[in-house]
Structure 1
Amino acid sequence: MYWNVENPLESQVPSSRFLAVELDTKCNPEVEDLDDNHIGIDNSSLISISSVSAGFYDPEDGNMYGFNLTSTKPMQVWVDYDSKHTILSVTIAPYSSSTTKPSRPLLSVAHDLSTSLEPKAVYAGFSSATDTANKHYILGWSFRLNGEAAALNYSALSLMTIQESSAQQFLTHGRPHSYKTLICKVLLPIVAVAILVSAALFSVYMKRRLQARRTELEWQREYGPPSFTYKELLAATNGFNDKMLLGRGGFGSVYRGVLPVSKQMVAIKRVSPESRQGMNEFMSEIVILGHLRHRNLVQLLGHCRHKQQLLLVYDYMPNGSLDSYLHTPHRNNTKLCWAQRFHIIKGIASGLFYLHEDWEQVVIHRDIKTSNVLLDDEMNARLGDFGLARSHDHGADAHTTHLAGTYGYIAPELARLGKATKATDVFAFGVLMMEVACAKRPIWGNTVNGDPLTLADWVLTTWRARSITDTVDPRLDAYVEEEIELVLKLGLLCSHPSPNSRPHMRRIMQYLERNASLPADLQPDALLSSD
């Protein structure tokens, strides 16, 4: 091993500054001539500053045993430098899978490396030269600055037997065997093993391809063939360019895109492949939203599954989310008037009525909130994001058993039991109605005791103390007082602590269309009780 302070590729002339640990094998392999069979340390010269006959101290009895470097037996060498005491040590031992480093080095010399190696770059490596038929093989090496080098992985050195066999052939009778013998005994077995390994790898590859194809066919039988190719969606988004990014969510990112053939503007959700919950959302959207058709629901146009890429394609909603209008005051210098807000509330109610009562199955959305309400070019409300939605037959119970939703919109019984129902959707819709009228978050402050202040509690407290319309968004210049009172009181009724006291969506639609009146005894105190 040598440390050289010059780049060996720049010149064929040996450097004048180097430090080497030499394993001198200039001897007859049939004669135990340990004088020429030695370990030495060289400093910028081929004349060793210190040398000793090759050997090792047995870890068990501590005795010194000679070791012939040309015996063709494998060995292990350790070179250590103690910078604190400036001691360079060399240790050798016969190699085996249970080799342990002898506690006593074979050769130690006091030498300060900083006086001889001071360049910007130092090269560490191996060099060999011989005028005999000796052959040397390095099966593995480990190097580390400022500490002990990592131990070798002996199990990975399986080529040792091949190397020993090859070395033995070259050293028999002091002359090399013929190349034909070497090819027959060494190279041919290697080629045979390589062919067998390649065949095994190819077999595994084909099995995986076949399994992937079966999975794809099963997927298509369950969820239908892909509606778009990955190439189409890649082109539509300019390679999913960040300039086309509309937003990021818990399960992935949403991009704006233009389909290359039809030139239709679409929104493309790219589900994160690392998320198991993202895969569940992907399948839920295909199974549920893919079959729903309503003017107040976002339309799913199709999907694409390419390797680990999961993509959903929707109608593009140019006006973004309802949340951005309520809680971003200067969005496009546009604010929603009361007529628009009341129209949006009735649109969401119509979509929920379709999900709960008017479709062939009951669909529980489970994540109703203003950020999941999108607005089309005519400011019509479209309820979207059905990744958490679950469906069941009419008259049957929902099979949800874990908590899902967004903090502030979650009904009390859902937080306790984790079971979503039509009543838990109604609770979230009640909070949303008050949020649209007041333009305040479901949790928007703290009480005097430091507890979270919910929007429903604030509206209810204001109603008891003064007038319920004192909670209306101050940005509203004009509104129909009867309509806004209806929305606020209906919002409180929908978010009643008791699920049995909340109205069904059919009844809510009747209230909003003014085909029915709220209960005459609807007062603040009646909204505080729970079953």
Structure 2
Amino acid sequence: MLPHLLLLCLHFLISTSTAYADDGFTYDGFSGSMLRLDGVASISSRALMLTDGAPQSVGRAFFGRRFDSISSFSTTFVFVITAPYSDLSGHGLAFTVSATTDSLLDGLPSQYMGMFNQQNLGNPTNQLFAVELDTIISPEFKDVDNNHVGIDVNSLVSIRSQVAGYYTPDGNFSILTLISGEPIQVWVDYDDSSHRVNVSLAPYLQHKPQRPLLSTTVNLTSVLPSSVYVGFASATGVMRSIHRIIGWSFNPNGEAKPLNYAALSEVIQDVRRDNQRSHSRIPMKILIPVVTLSVFVTLVIIVALYVYMKKARESGEWEIDSGSSSFTYKDLVAATSGFSDRMLLGKGGFGKVYKGVLQTSKQNVAVKRVSPESKQGMKEFIAEITILGHLRHRNLVQLLGYSRHKSELLLVYDYMPNGSLDRVLHGQYRQQTVDWVCRFNIIKGIASGLCYLHEDWEKVVIHRDIKASNVLLDNEMKGRLGDFGLARLHNHGTDAHTTHLAGTWGYISPELARLGRATKATDVFAFGVFMLEVACGRRPIEVNGSGEPVLLTDWVTDAWESGSILKSVDQRLEDHVREEAELVLKLGLLCSHPVPSARPSTRLIVQYLVNDVLLPDFQPSFLNLTSRHEDFDQHILASPSVATTMTGLSGGR
């Protein structure tokens, strides 16, 4: 008996062997030795389980001691991500090299990947380098599901990113699905002399590819201090995913030692058995009463649901299909100090918005409290949850969840510390001018978000209320489009069925006012007015000295016709770049053209703004055309420059 126990112990020690010295360490399976775990991270079945499947959770694991000197370091690890669906997961994991582990304790779940929060995202004092394996759909890789790898420095905006995959020996690219549930190996190599970072991926048991997936130059000496920690961070969002590290080798000053695949294969088998255990056969003596009880409970639930649905139909309530989690009313009362006036951020026709701090994660949030008497009723409330809960883009306000309490409706968003752009441009803080660089970046960001809504998401989203007050500013003064209460969606290649007028005067296109039918082109019109508003610092409709209303589009056009369109630029913007300002003004007028077909698509707008495509030359007279087809067609035929413009603008619509 004793020899048998000794053999078992020896086998366990070998299969979870850990070697560490000045030249690094190797984990062929994990036993917990020399590891610092926090969040939900744990050791299970000899694997390092960073997240356990719970939503909105964070898990981190770091090697237990600092490395006082790293130069040309190298690491390799094998990971497995188990997701509930084949095409949905959240949010991924990252190999990290950090100045401290303490700063990561404030890292939030979801899009912050357990490494950052709203306050420190992008801050150089983070002193953090990471290679992220992101499993949330990215607009940059819209044709590939849940798959990209990025190299990050102090931020989650990758300095270089690529679809997850590897190059085969014959030079072909093969895509890897990060959430396949199959083990995948990663290699990260940094050369201190050339400052070159190489990242490679391959299926488990395949050789390291000769050509790396990612290769870029970054001087980590200027990013990291001399003494650092190495480890992993991971986070989930709404989706329940399990992130595991099976094996890990690291060398601070040379090539990482190879992993023991025989030992790792045993760990992988243990993990698979764990995953299957929930489906194992239950003894009959237990199964019969369980089935009986289940049938009874099911009948009770069916009756309860029938009664609930009947009441819901009678009260006008609807089922909510949302990608966001719900919060309890108690959570939100605690977060907002009982909806205290000192936490009040603003109010409108819908109700009030409060700042809140979630008690568990300490995350700052904004809570929209929709009153029963709100102009924004149940239909708009559900529209916002259903649409915004599934959208993921850096220039859209992130909906974190919702709550319903009696007749009250509550929406929970990421907190935007700098408020609305409308308040910055026209409010009491108007003296604090937002410079041209910031304004131009806001315009480009909202254009990118709108392109995602119109072209890149699985459905077409018509926002229907694009305006400065619906653009919120994060801690870096980057713009995010919010308030999707009026938004409608439809399939690509089909028309929207919206037939009633919605929006804000000054941003409403002529055809929308006339027909009440919202389209991509009506969103583009509103965005055109928005661009002019940002560049000119004027509202869409203002009253002149004679008490008559003046449209901003007419005011800018008049400035252009009088000799200089740049006269309409906000006088406070002494730092504006002439070429950029002229582009924004002319593009804004083109987007707000009275003829819908003359307006560019959102994808073309983005290309104009980032200078991938030159804005075609046109004269102010082109803007005065009405929607009468004979006049419009004659002007196109008579003017080669405008004909070129129209050909370019119609592409991709």
Looking at structure 2, the residues matched to 486 and 224 of structure 1 have their Cα atoms a distance apart, in angstroms, of: 38
Amino acid in the other structure paired with 1:526: F
Q: CA deviation at 1:277?
A: 3.8
Does 2:478 correspond to 1:380? Answer: yes
Residue 298 of structure 1: aligned partner: 397
Confirm whether residue 511 of structure 1 aligns to residue 608 of structure 2.
Answer: yes
Listed as ranges, the matches of 1:364-513 within 5 Å are 364-446=462-544, 451-513=548-610
The question of 1:360 aligning with 2:360 is answered no
SS in 2 for 1:514: coil
Structure 1 contact 329–335 (Cα < 8 Å) conserved:
no
**1:466 Cα deviation after fit:** 2.0
1:435 to 1:442, Cα distance in 2 relative to 1, 3 A:
same
Mapping 1:100-115, distance limit 5 Å: none
Find the aligned partners of 1:294 and 1:421 in 2 and give their Cα distance: 21
Structure 1 residue 529 displacement after superposition: 0.3
Task: Identify unmatched segments of 5+ residues in structure 2.
Answer: 1-302, 628-653
Question: Out of 372, 377, 400, which is 1:278 matched to?
Answer: 377
Q: Which residue of 1 aligns with 2:130?
A: none
Answer whether contact 1:220 1:226 (CA < 8 A) is retained. Answer: no
**Aligned equivalent of 2:164:** none
Query: Residues 60-112 of structure 1: CA distance to partner in whole angstroms, max 9, x if unpaired?
Result: xxxxxxxxxxxxxxxxxxxxxxxxxxxxxxxxxxxxxxxxxxxxxxxxxxxxx
1:183-208 deviations in Å (ceiling 9; x for gaps) = xxxxxxxxxxxxxxxxxxxxxxxx99
* Cα offset, 1:212, TM superposition: 4.3
Partners of 2:366 and 2:484 in 1: how far apart? 15
SS of match in other structure, 1:516: coil
Q: Is the 8 A contact 1:364 1:390 kept in 2?
A: yes
Partner of 2:445: 347
Q: Match for 2:616: what amino acid?
A: P
Contact 1:268 1:311 in 2 (8 A): yes
> The residue matched to 2:389 in structure 1 has which SS?
helix
What is the Cα deviation at residue 308 of structure 1?
Answer: 1.1
Q: 1:224 to 1:519 in 2, by over 3 A?
A: closer
- Give 1:309-320 correspondences, 5 Å limit: 309-320=408-419
Residue 132 of structure 2 aligns with which residue? none
The match for 1:527 is 623
Deviations 1:311-365 (A, max 9, x none): 110000000011111113635x632110000000000000000000000000000
Work out whether 1:258 is the aligned partner of 2:357: yes
| Alpha-carbon offset, residue 213 of structure 1 | 7.5
- The TM-score normalised by the length of structure 1 is 0.58
Residues 472 and 358 (structure 1 numbering): CA distance in 2 closer, same or farther, change over 3 Å?
same
Quick one: percent identity of the two aligned structures? Answer: 66
Structure number with the bigger relative contact order (C-alpha 8 A, sep ≥ 6) is 2
The answer to which structure has the higher strand fraction is: 2
Shift of 1:452: 1.8
Match runs of 1:72-83 below 5 Å: none
Q: Distance in 1 between matches of 2:545 and 2:619?
A: 23
Matches within 5 A, 1:24-63: none
Report the AA paired with residue 427 of structure 1: F
Deviation, 1:276, is 6.7
Within 2, Cα distance between the matches of 1:369 and 1:404? Answer: 13
SS of the residue corresponding to residue 312 of structure 1 reads: strand
Change (3 A) 1:443 1:342: same
Once residues 322 and 275 of structure 1 are traced to their aligned partners in structure 2, the CA distance between those partners, rounded to angstroms, is 23
Find the counterpart in structure 1 of residue 344 from structure 2. 245
CA apart distance, 1:422: 0.4
Which residue identity lines up with residue 481 of structure 1 in the other structure?
R
How many aligned residue pairs are there?
322
CA distance change for structure 1 residues 209 and 480 in 2, over 3 Å: closer, same or farther? closer
What secondary structure is seen at the aligned counterpart in 2 of 1:291? coil
Query: Which string of whole-angstrom CA distances, capped at 9 and with x for unpartnered residues, describes residues 466-514 of structure 1?
Result: 2000011111121110000000000000000100100000111111011
Contact in 2 for aligned 1:252/1:278 (Cα 8 Å):
no
Q: Supply the RMSD in Å over aligned alpha carbons.
A: 2.3
Question: Which runs of no fewer than 5 residues in structure 1 stay unpaired?
Answer: 1-206
Q: Secondary structure at the match of 2:326?
A: coil
Partner secondary structure for residue 404 of structure 2: strand
Report 1:142-157 matches (<5 A): none
Between 1:296-305 and 1:209-218, the stretch displaced more is: 209-218
Deviations 1:38-64 (A, max 9, x none): xxxxxxxxxxxxxxxxxxxxxxxxxxx
The one-letter amino acid paired with 1:377 is: N
| Pair 1:236–1:458, CA change in 2 (3 A) | same
Change (3 A) 1:475 1:257: same
Answer whether contact 2:421 2:469 (CA < 8 A) is retained.
Answer: yes
Alpha-carbon separation, structure 2, partners of 1:386 and 1:225: 14
User: Secondary structure of the residue that 2:412 maps to in structure 1?
Assistant: strand
CA contact (8 A) 2:321 2:386 kept: no
CA distance in structure 2 between the aligned counterparts of 1:277 and 1:462, rounded to whole angstroms: 38
CA distance in 1, matches of 2:376, 2:488: 14
SS of 2:450's partner is: helix
Sort the Cα spacing of 1:517 and 1:221 in 2 relative to 1 into closer, same or farther, 3 A. Answer: closer
Deviation at 1:275, TM superposition (A): 3.7
CA distance in 2, matches of 1:272, 1:454: 33
In the alignment, is residue 230 of structure 1 matched against residue 297 of structure 2?
A: no
AA in 1 matched with 2:588? G
Amino acid at match of 2:346: G
CA distance in 1 between counterparts of 2:378 and 2:465 reads: 17
Paired residues of 1:400 and 1:418 also in contact (CA < 8 A): yes
Superposed displacement of residue 274, structure 1: 2.9
Work out whether residues 463 and 486 of structure 2, in 8 Å CA contact, stay in contact via their aligned partners in 1.
yes
- Three-state SS of the structure 2 residue aligned to 1:298 is coil
Q: State the AA in 2 paired with 1:503.
A: P
| Inter-partner Cα distance in structure 1 for 2:506 and 2:368 | 25
Deviation, structure 1 residue 224:
7.6
Change (3 A) 1:221 1:327: closer
